[in-house]
Amino acid sequence: MTATTDFRDTPLAPIRPASGDYSQHRIVPARYPARTVGTIVAALLIAATLNSILGNERWGWNVFAEWFLSEPVLMGLGRTLLLTLLGALFGFTLGTALALARVSGSPLLSGLSWTFTWIFRSIPLIVLLLILNNLGYLYETITIGVPYTSINFFSYQTTQLISPFTAALLGLSINQAAFTSEIIRGGILSVDQGQLEAAASLGLPRSRQASRIILPQAMRSIVPPAFNDIIGLAKGTSNVYILALPELFYTIQVIYRRNLEVIPLLMVATIWYLIILSVLSAVQYFIERHYARGALRNPPPPVLRAILEWLGQFRFVPQPTPSTTPVTAPRFVGSARSAIEPRGISAGERAAAGGTVAIHNVSKSFGPLKVLDRLSLTIPAGSVTAILGQSGSGKSTLLRSINHLERVDQGFIAIDGELIGYRQEGGLLYELKEKDILKRRVDVGMVFQNFNLFPHLTVLDNITEAPVTVRGVPHTEAEAQARDLLARVGLSEKADAYPRQLSGGQQQRVAIARALAMRPKVLLFDEPTSALDPELVNEVLDVIKELARSGVTLIIVTHEIGFAREVADTVVFMDQGEIIEQGPPSVVLGAPNHPRTREFLAKVL
């Protein structure tokens, strides 16, 4: 039997799913009816609320208009803003110092910080404000000098020094610092320990480690709760009315006691607080974006572009570009028999049968950079395919597209005739919703270069998590299966260890066991040994060799040429988003046709 497949001979219709050509189909975007109903209900509620507020005379909007921008209100607003700004500034400075003291090695500093937080989180803000305002009764003068001598640098009447404004600012700052210190400490704890170790091993001084490495990364988890706190502070400034300090709320009270227009004036205060909070929320958004740099593989687009894209989607429905040119024929020059027939394995073990992967005319760009360029490839069930190529040639992007971690711009990928990301009905392709994509993804396992084990779960829990929660396997069964898999990868005794307690090779073998536990039809390996020490490489390759005989379809991006020669049925060579050569290892690795392949092999061999 000849295994040569030539797409040029394949008519485009009727549909032949295995060929992966769905370009004649119309794409129907995913619809979310519940979301649409929710939107309509929300719009109706908003309209009803607005109608009741604007249509009822008792709200007194004319009185509101009279006072909203009046001088006393603006003066009060100014004080509120000043208190918020200074309170946040002092609170955060003191809070950061307290948090660093708390995580420092010094028990005294740490204890002091703990006590401060304990006391000032316990005292109600109003009580604290009143105590500070009455400090003049406790201490008539405040003096700085050398104790038990008559040397004084500075001495002042307490009542002169602590005006209501100072008392308010002190109280708010201290209260803020006590809460903020815990938020910042939480952020510090969330930073990976490896980061500390890397910073320390580079010899960075402690202060630099904190300011340059730890705090910026901690900011991602600090910013949202911190802004909650600042918003609390902006509203909390209204507590200082008990010190008769004419900030916004106190001013409003003075006015409505005089003119008895309570509701309109409370509305003046409400709207101003709303404006302050909106501005704070906007500031938070931009600070969060700033600290998200590098944290996401695909960061969200800038606000303006996101809005334009959102508006744009109502104007046109994206159509797949029909393939006008004949498809480059993926050829399996060698015998496909060896690929399809799992070698040396009993029928029973073949339970997790492999899937056929059909990649048809797939393109993908990141901005102006075309990473996959009309790439087509058919991978038979149960075969082993090694993908080689220079760094940056698009190998990872191809694997990530097969797993739908990356969405292709054009073309289609199907596993056993089931399209990735779409459901086919007649001539229509319905875009899948996120939860359906997740369901389909369980057929495709992926092993990453840097393992990506869950560091806070034991080895056993890493493996059983998905079978139990996704596949609904009973816990005991999942655990027995996990122990079997661990035995297969030679790690029986590590079931209760945490990933960070394992060597790289062991972690990668756990990652393989974790992927296998889902009984995938296709298993993707993205440079599974590149992060490993040379002596650990073989222990992982041996496990993969074992798998090659199990019937699962394996697609492996690797730089291990010897391994590819031994294990792969097909070697695919990629260059600049295209497949420039493919065939059995003896041909592609032994007698390559393309100069680029020869050049690459000369470098790595």
Stretch of residues binding ligand ADP (CB under 6 A), selected from 324-332, 343-351, 394-402, 545-553:
394-402
Q: Which is nearer to ligand ADP, 149 or 298 (CB)?
A: 298
For residue 51, give both structure tokens.
Answer: 């109608």
Cα(151)–Cα(129) distance, integer angstroms: 31
Percent of residues in the chain assigned helix, strand, coil, to nearest 5: 55, 15, 30
| The residue to which tokens 């002091």 are assigned | 112
Decide if residue 391 touches ligand ADP (CB under 6 A).
yes
Q: Which helix (H) or strand (E) holds 296?
A: none
Stretch of residues binding ligand ADP (CB under 6 A), selected from 174-182, 205-213, 330-338, 390-398:
390-398
Q: Which amino acid is at 423?
A: R
**Residues near ligand ADP (CB under 6 A), total:** 13
Q: Which is nearer to Mg ion, 176 or 558 (CB)?
A: 558
Residue 104 CB, shortest distance to ligand ADP, in Å, is 38
Q: Which is nearer to ligand ADP, 19 or 396 (CB)?
A: 396
Q: Which is nearer to Mg ion, 34 or 296 (CB)?
A: 296
| 386 strand-pairing partners | 556, 571
Distances (CA, A) of 168 to 81, 180, 238, 311, 604: 13, 18, 10, 47, 69
Residue 311 CB, shortest distance to ligand ADP, in Å, is 24
144: helix, strand or coil: strand
Among 96, 180, 385, 393, contact with ligand ADP (rule: CB under 6 A): 393
Q: Which is nearer to ligand ADP, 84 or 396 (CB)?
A: 396
Q: Which is nearer to ligand ADP, 371 or 571 (CB)?
A: 371
Decide if residue 514 touches ligand ADP (CB under 6 A).
no
Given ligand ADP, Mg ion, none, residue 176, with its beta carbon under 5 to 8 Å by kind, binds none
Stretch of residues binding ligand ADP (CB under 6 A), selected from 205-213, 386-394, 504-512, 558-566:
386-394
Decide if residue 371 touches ligand ADP (CB under 6 A).
yes
Q: Which amino acid is at 311?
A: L
Binding site for Mg ion (CB under 5 A): 396
Among 117, 397, 553, 570, contact with ligand ADP (rule: CB under 6 A): 397
Decide the pairing of beta strands 422-425 and 578-583: unpaired
Phi-psi region of 417 (alpha: psi -120 to 50; beta: other; left: phi over 0): left
Helices (H), 123-244: 125-133, 135-138, 158-161, 164-190, 193-201, 206-208, 215-236
Q: Which is nearer to Mg ion, 397 or 550 (CB)?
A: 397
Residue 292 CB, shortest distance to ligand ADP, in Å, is 14
Cα(514)–Cα(494) distance, integer angstroms: 14
Residue 289 CB, shortest distance to ligand ADP, in Å, is 17
Sign of CA dihedral 337, 342, 348, 353: negative
Residue 530 CB, shortest distance to Mg ion, in Å, is 8
Decide the pairing of beta strands 384-389 and 570-575: parallel
Cα(484)–Cα(479) distance, integer angstroms: 9
Q: Which is nearer to ligand ADP, 58 or 297 (CB)?
A: 297
Decide if residue 572 touches ligand ADP (CB under 6 A).
no
Q: Which is nearer to ligand ADP, 64 or 448 (CB)?
A: 448
Decide if residue 298 touches ligand ADP (CB under 6 A).
yes
Among 32, 118, 137, 366, contact with ligand ADP (rule: CB under 6 A): 366
| Strands across the sheet containing 522-526 | 444-447, 522-526, 553-557, 384-389, 570-575, 578-583
Residue 413 CB, shortest distance to Mg ion, in Å, is 18
Distances (CA, A) of 571 to 136, 333, 334: 84, 11, 11
Stretch of residues binding ligand ADP (CB under 6 A), selected from 109-117, 350-358, 393-401, 486-494:
393-401
Decide if residue 394 touches ligand ADP (CB under 6 A).
yes
Stretch of residues binding ligand ADP (CB under 6 A), selected from 12-20, 305-313, 331-339, 385-393:
385-393
Q: Which amino acid is at 27?
A: I
**What's phi and psi for 33, nearest 5 deg?**
-60, -40
Residues contacting 67, CB < 8 A, separation 6+: 73, 255, 264, 265, 268
Stretch of residues binding ligand ADP (CB under 6 A), selected from 307-315, 355-363, 366-374, 544-552:
366-374
Residue 540 CB, shortest distance to Mg ion, in Å, is 17
Residue 316 CB, shortest distance to Mg ion, in Å, is 33
From the centroid of its chain, how far is CA 555?
26
Contact 531, 447 (CB under 8 A): no
Among 297, 315, 435, 603, contact with ligand ADP (rule: CB under 6 A): 297
**What's phi and psi for 431, nearest 5 deg?**
-65, 135
Cα angle 359, 363, 366 (rounded to 5 degrees) comes to 135
Among 29, 392, 562, 590, contact with ligand ADP (rule: CB under 6 A): 392
Q: Which residue is nearest to Mg ion (CB)?
A: 396
In the complex, the residues that contact ligand ADP under the rule CB under 6 A are 297-298, 366, 369, 371, 389, 391-397
